[in-house]
Amino acid sequence: MAYKGKFRPHNIKKYRGNHKGIIYRSLWELRFMRYCDSTPSILEWASEELIIPYRSPVDGKKHRYFPDFWLKVKTAEGEIKESVVEIKPKIQTTPPKKRNKITRKYLKEVKTWGVNEAKWKAAEAFCKDRDWKFKIITEKDLTKY
Protein backbone atom coordinates (compact mmCIF):
# COMPACT_ATOMS: atom_id res chain seq x y z
CA MET A 1 0.00 0.00 0.00
CA ALA A 2 1.24 3.47 -0.88
CA TYR A 3 2.02 5.98 1.85
CA LYS A 4 0.46 8.74 -0.27
CA GLY A 5 -2.45 8.69 -2.63
CA LYS A 6 -6.02 9.66 -3.42
CA PHE A 7 -8.88 8.68 -1.16
CA ARG A 8 -12.23 7.85 -2.72
CA PRO A 9 -15.04 8.14 -0.16
CA HIS A 10 -18.02 5.78 -0.24
CA ASN A 11 -20.24 8.42 1.40
CA ILE A 12 -19.62 11.31 -0.98
CA LYS A 13 -22.43 13.43 0.52
CA LYS A 14 -20.60 13.52 3.87
CA TYR A 15 -17.52 15.11 2.36
CA ARG A 16 -17.43 18.92 2.35
CA GLY A 17 -15.22 20.02 -0.51
CA ASN A 18 -13.99 18.41 -3.70
CA HIS A 19 -14.45 14.68 -3.06
CA LYS A 20 -12.40 13.89 -6.18
CA GLY A 21 -9.28 15.57 -4.82
CA ILE A 22 -8.88 14.05 -1.36
CA ILE A 23 -5.18 13.30 -0.80
CA TYR A 24 -3.72 11.30 2.08
CA ARG A 25 -0.09 11.91 2.96
CA SER A 26 0.35 9.03 5.40
CA LEU A 27 -1.23 5.72 6.25
CA TRP A 28 -2.40 7.35 9.49
CA GLU A 29 -4.36 9.94 7.50
CA LEU A 30 -5.79 7.19 5.28
CA ARG A 31 -6.95 5.29 8.37
CA PHE A 32 -8.62 8.40 9.77
CA MET A 33 -10.28 9.15 6.41
CA ARG A 34 -11.79 5.68 6.36
CA TYR A 35 -13.05 6.25 9.89
CA CYS A 36 -14.64 9.60 8.95
CA ASP A 37 -16.24 8.14 5.85
CA SER A 38 -17.73 5.12 7.63
CA THR A 39 -18.74 6.49 11.06
CA PRO A 40 -22.43 7.46 11.22
CA SER A 41 -21.91 10.06 13.98
CA ILE A 42 -19.60 12.03 11.68
CA LEU A 43 -22.12 14.07 9.69
CA GLU A 44 -19.60 15.96 7.55
CA TRP A 45 -15.84 16.05 7.17
CA ALA A 46 -13.13 17.61 5.05
CA SER A 47 -9.41 17.14 4.55
CA GLU A 48 -7.13 20.17 4.09
CA GLU A 49 -10.08 22.32 2.98
CA LEU A 50 -9.87 24.78 5.90
CA ILE A 51 -7.35 27.64 5.95
CA ILE A 52 -6.02 29.11 9.21
CA PRO A 53 -3.57 32.04 9.01
CA TYR A 54 -0.53 31.97 11.31
CA ARG A 55 2.77 33.80 11.71
CA SER A 56 5.89 31.66 11.36
CA PRO A 57 8.55 32.07 14.05
CA VAL A 58 11.15 31.14 11.44
CA ASP A 59 10.67 34.07 9.04
CA GLY A 60 8.16 36.26 10.93
CA LYS A 61 5.82 36.23 7.94
CA LYS A 62 2.16 35.26 7.69
CA HIS A 63 1.47 31.82 6.25
CA ARG A 64 -1.56 29.62 5.66
CA TYR A 65 -2.11 26.45 7.66
CA PHE A 66 -4.30 23.73 6.16
CA PRO A 67 -5.19 21.41 9.07
CA ASP A 68 -5.56 17.75 8.19
CA PHE A 69 -9.26 17.49 9.02
CA TRP A 70 -12.43 19.39 9.87
CA LEU A 71 -15.31 17.38 11.35
CA LYS A 72 -18.97 17.96 12.16
CA VAL A 73 -20.07 15.29 14.63
CA LYS A 74 -23.33 14.40 16.34
CA THR A 75 -22.54 13.53 19.96
CA ALA A 76 -24.22 10.79 21.98
CA GLU A 77 -26.26 13.57 23.63
CA GLY A 78 -27.51 14.72 20.21
CA GLU A 79 -25.43 17.91 20.08
CA ILE A 80 -23.69 18.96 16.86
CA LYS A 81 -20.02 19.74 17.47
CA GLU A 82 -17.29 20.83 15.09
CA SER A 83 -13.60 20.21 15.45
CA VAL A 84 -10.27 20.54 13.69
CA VAL A 85 -7.92 17.56 13.80
CA GLU A 86 -4.22 17.37 13.04
CA ILE A 87 -2.47 14.00 12.69
CA LYS A 88 1.19 14.01 13.65
CA PRO A 89 3.83 11.53 14.77
CA LYS A 90 4.05 11.59 18.58
CA ILE A 91 7.68 12.68 18.40
CA GLN A 92 6.63 15.93 16.67
CA THR A 93 4.13 16.88 19.40
CA THR A 94 6.73 17.86 21.98
CA PRO A 95 9.72 20.20 21.75
CA PRO A 96 13.01 18.51 20.84
CA LYS A 97 15.29 17.73 23.76
CA LYS A 98 18.26 20.06 24.11
CA ARG A 99 21.50 18.56 22.94
CA ASN A 100 25.11 19.40 23.64
CA LYS A 101 26.01 19.20 19.96
CA ILE A 102 24.02 21.35 17.54
CA THR A 103 23.52 19.30 14.39
CA ARG A 104 21.56 19.99 11.21
CA LYS A 105 19.07 17.35 12.30
CA TYR A 106 18.56 19.08 15.65
CA LEU A 107 18.12 22.49 13.97
CA LYS A 108 15.53 20.99 11.63
CA GLU A 109 13.66 19.51 14.61
CA VAL A 110 13.67 22.90 16.38
CA LYS A 111 12.40 24.63 13.25
CA THR A 112 9.66 22.02 12.72
CA TRP A 113 8.58 22.30 16.34
CA GLY A 114 8.46 26.10 16.18
CA VAL A 115 6.34 26.12 13.03
CA ASN A 116 4.02 23.39 14.32
CA GLU A 117 3.56 25.19 17.64
CA ALA A 118 2.68 28.43 15.82
CA LYS A 119 0.17 26.59 13.62
CA TRP A 120 -1.42 24.85 16.60
CA LYS A 121 -1.72 28.05 18.64
CA ALA A 122 -3.42 29.72 15.67
CA ALA A 123 -5.72 26.70 15.27
CA GLU A 124 -6.63 26.76 18.98
CA ALA A 125 -7.54 30.46 18.77
CA PHE A 126 -9.45 29.92 15.51
CA CYS A 127 -11.44 27.07 17.06
CA LYS A 128 -12.05 28.90 20.33
CA ASP A 129 -13.61 31.82 18.40
CA ARG A 130 -16.07 29.38 16.81
CA ASP A 131 -16.71 27.18 19.86
CA TRP A 132 -14.97 24.30 18.08
CA LYS A 133 -12.37 21.90 19.44
CA PHE A 134 -8.79 21.50 18.20
CA LYS A 135 -7.20 18.10 18.65
CA ILE A 136 -3.85 16.57 17.72
CA ILE A 137 -3.99 12.84 17.08
CA THR A 138 -0.84 10.69 17.11
CA GLU A 139 -0.17 7.12 16.06
CA LYS A 140 -0.90 6.11 19.67
CA ASP A 141 -4.41 7.59 19.45
CA LEU A 142 -5.18 6.01 16.07
CA THR A 143 -5.73 2.60 17.65
CA LYS A 144 -9.19 3.95 18.57
CA TYR A 145 -10.04 4.68 14.92
6 close to 18: Cβ distance less than 8 angstroms: no
Active site residue 105: no
- Residue 122 to residue 52: CA distance in whole angstroms: 7
Task: Return d(Cα 122, Cα 31) in angstroms, integer.
Answer: 26
Active site residue 129: no
Vertex 115 angle, CA 96 and 95, to 5°: 15
Q: Which of 29, 37, 48, 86 is catalytic?
A: 29
Active site residue 77: no
Pairing of strands 80-87, 5-6: unpaired
Enter the DSSP assignment of 142.
G
Catalytic residue chosen out of the listed positions 88, 111, 133, 135: 88
3 state SS of 85: strand
Query: Annotated catalytic residue: which of 37, 48, 68, 86?
Result: 68
| Enzyme catalytic residues | 29, 68, 88
